[in-house]
Amino acid sequence: MSFLLNLFDSLKWLTGWEMILCALYLYVLLGYALFKNNRWFYFIPGVGVILAIISLILGDDSILALLIYASTVILFLCTIRRIFKPAVKPLSTKFRSVMVIVCVLGFLPTLLALSIAGEVRYNPVSDLSHKSYTQAFIAMNERLSTEYPFGDWKKVDWAAKKNKYGPLFRQAEISQDTDLYYKTLRDYLFSFRDGHIQIVNEHLYDGNSVFKSEVGGGVGISTVQLDDGKVLVSLLVPGSPADQCGIKLGAQIISWDGKDVKKALDETSWSENSPATEGARIHNQGRFLARAPIGQSIQVKFRNQDDPAVITAALTAYDDQYETLKKTKVKLKKEDPPVEGQIFKENYGYVKIRYFLPGATQSDPAKALENTIKEFQEKQVKGIIIDLRDNPGGDDDLVAQMAGHFVNRKRIFEYVSYYNRNTGRFEINRAETRTVEPSRIYFPGKIAVLINHNTASSGEGLPLFLKGMPNVKIIGFTSTNGSFGIVSAPIEMKMPEGYVVQFPDGRSLNQDHKIQGDSDERGQGGVTPDITVPMNGQTFKMKFIEGQDVELDYALASFNS
């Protein structure tokens, strides 16, 4: 019954053309069972093919539409012979039965389409590439004002955005300044504070001239801002200008390029992705503070650890091939399995989940986690640490499946809501409701979940689901990324100068049908830690100078608290 209800509910995601094709198919199916032998009847599938071609020309090449088109073509091929060679005698009962079976089998692609209609629905690409900068921006802003899933959640003032960024696009247009246009487009997108919003083809590290000209130079350091506002050197490249002038790991930066370091940080705007939360923003400002145009001279005041002297030095930015950025940005390796576990000598289980997708060396992460939990139970571990730091996400279905090891009753994981182009409202996609079913391998003991600002998208799903359970503690320096939106059929726009931008198309809702996981307009959101690890002088020294895993230490300590 639930399957039939889901199929019926899925009809709301069909376009008008798709609905007509489905109705036509059912009409022909009933015709074989009930109608007499009328030649005109065999022309109907041909009409369906024509309608499918029109729909395709109009731009509907979604997976949903292609599956419905497939059913239409199968039906046409099964009946075309009767158009040119009509039967003289009435159709026999046996022939009717055979054709009903053939039609039912031919309808299977459409049944498949309906079962996943919400996820693969038609979401047209807006081709704005032929418009002027200003016109393209206005059209983009207007579409997003109705279709962006988090407009209300983030309290987006669409008129204010138009008034703020419109003149900048106009200025770029008048002066034919492509760099200003690109930076304005980027600033507009980043203003949403949504990690799922991106320019998919900006190629930051591979031929992006604006990125290269503004932050292509390094001086050999990266920094971290402490909770009290101090800015310390967290990475030092041997032989770099910073190293040669005497800056040491852990040095405090007092001023940068003639400005108080706090002001310099606030003016640092570059990052690879839109920082959805304050934690992500602060982290990226620390990474990009010491980036500058190649050849630029930068005056810096600093104080090394255990040395009261304030030193002033001039550093010249050189082309380091983005070394400090790459060293401070986690990059997953293909050979690393999605799930990997071990047992510490204190008899605590540890499992690292790098991403929620099959990997090159591990095709079934869910089975790997099951085997790991089973081993933990056999060894009677005292608690489990689930490490989700730097997990970029993957498949929500896999997350919900894995979560079954930590519950003993059925629970809602999420409802999914999309913008319905037929009604002009956001509606729940019933067929995509995810639940967590208890697994046969169940762990009821203490659990510590490690997170950071790079725990993103589907990676945020497990801590979001587990948070609040009495045996679970979420631990980290910051909240997760705050970008838990759905990207099934993303909103896509082709912009002038060849840029393609994408936005999430759906919301994840909790059991109360409220948006969950995504940051708000203040950068507050994601999964917040139950135990927040302080970023102070002591933890900085342990993490960046001594190389200790501070969060892991806090997780182990939490089992005894």
* Token representation of residue 278: 């304050």
Quote the pTM value.
0.91
Distance CA 81, CA 365 (A): 50
**Which domain, by its residues, includes 307?**
213-328
Find, among 63, 68, 36, the residue nearest to 52 by Cα: 68
Find, among 82, 75, 77, 81, the residue nearest to 40 by Cα: 82
Q: Are residues 108 and 245 in the same domain?
A: no
Q: Kindly state the helix (H) or strand (E) to which residue 386 belongs, with its residue range.
A: strand 383-387
Distance CA 170, CA 181 (A): 9
Residue appearing with tokens 């053939």:
102
Last residue of a domain, one of 328, 349, 373: 328
Q: Are residues 477 and 416 in the same domain?
A: yes
The widest CA-to-CA distance across the chain, in whole angstroms, is 106
Q: Are residues 320 and 382 in the same domain?
A: no
Q: Are residues 384 and 297 in the same domain?
A: no
Q: How much is the pLDDT for 111?
A: 81
How far is CA 139 from its chain centroid?
24
Flag whether 141 is in a domain: no
Q: CA–CA distance from 423 to each of 113, 368, 417, 485, 515 (Å)?
A: 20, 43, 13, 21, 20
Residues in contact with 560: Cβ distance below 8 Å, sequence separation at least 6, in sequence order: none
Q: What are phi and psi of 255, to 5 degrees?
A: -140, 155
Q: Are residues 108 and 251 in the same domain?
A: no
Question: For position 523, which CATH number holds?
Answer: 3.90.226.10
* Edge-first strand listing for the sheet containing 472-476: 339-343, 349-353, 383-387, 446-450, 472-476, 531-532
Q: Are residues 373 and 311 in the same domain?
A: no
Flag whether 77 is in a domain: yes
Q: Are residues 501 and 545 in the same domain?
A: yes
Structural contact between residues 413 and 403, judged by C-beta atoms closer than 8 angstroms:
yes
Q: Are residues 249 and 351 in the same domain?
A: no
Q: Are residues 5 and 115 in the same domain?
A: yes
Inter-axis angle of helices 63-84 and 93-106, to 10 degrees? 160
Find, among 287, 278, 333, the residue nearest to 453 by Cα: 278
Last residue of a domain, one of 121, 145, 164: 121
CA 359-363-365 angle, to 5 degrees, is 80
Flag whether 278 is in a domain: yes
| DSSP string of 192-227, one letter each residue | T--TT-EETT--TTTT-HHHHHHH-EE-SEEEEE-T
Flag whether 554 is in a domain: yes
Q: CA–CA distance from 168 to each of 141, 158, 266 (Å)?
A: 14, 16, 21
Q: What are phi and psi of 406, to 5 degrees?
A: -120, 15
Q: What is the pLDDT along the chain (561 residues), one digit of tens a residue?
A: 577 787 788 889 999 999 999 888 778 777 766 655 566 777 888 888 999 999 999 999 998 899 889 888 887 887 777 666 655 555 566 666 766 676 666 677 778 888 888 999 999 999 999 999 999 999 999 999 999 999 999 999 999 999 999 999 999 999 999 999 999 999 999 999 999 999 999 999 998 999 999 999 999 999 999 999 999 999 999 999 999 999 999 999 999 999 999 999 999 999 999 999 999 999 999 999 999 999 999 999 999 998 999 999 999 999 999 999 999 998 888 889 999 999 998 899 999 999 999 998 999 999 999 999 999 999 999 999 999 999 999 999 999 999 999 999 999 999 999 999 999 999 999 999 999 999 999 999 999 999 999 999 999 999 999 999 999 999 999 999 999 999 999 999 999 999 999 999 999 999 999 999 999 999 999 999 999 999 999 999 999 999 999 999 999 999 987
Cβ neighbour number for residue 492 with a 10 Å cutoff: 16
Dihedral angle, C-alpha 435, 440, 441, 447, nearest 10 °: 40
Q: How much is the pLDDT for 387?
A: 98
308 burial (CB, 10 Å; 0-12 / 13-18 / 19+) is exposed
Q: Are residues 522 and 416 in the same domain?
A: yes
Last residue of a domain, one of 307, 328, 349: 328
Radius of gyration of the chain (CA): 29
Distance CA 344, CA 66 (A): 51
Q: How much is the pLDDT for 43?
A: 82
Q: How much is the pLDDT for 99?
A: 65
* Token representation of residue 397: 């279905």
Q: How much is the pLDDT for 87?
A: 56
Looking at the 3D structure of the chain, how many domains does it have? 3
Flag whether 4 is in a domain: yes
Q: Are residues 470 and 377 in the same domain?
A: yes
Inter-axis angle of helices 178-190 and 158-175, to 10 degrees? 170
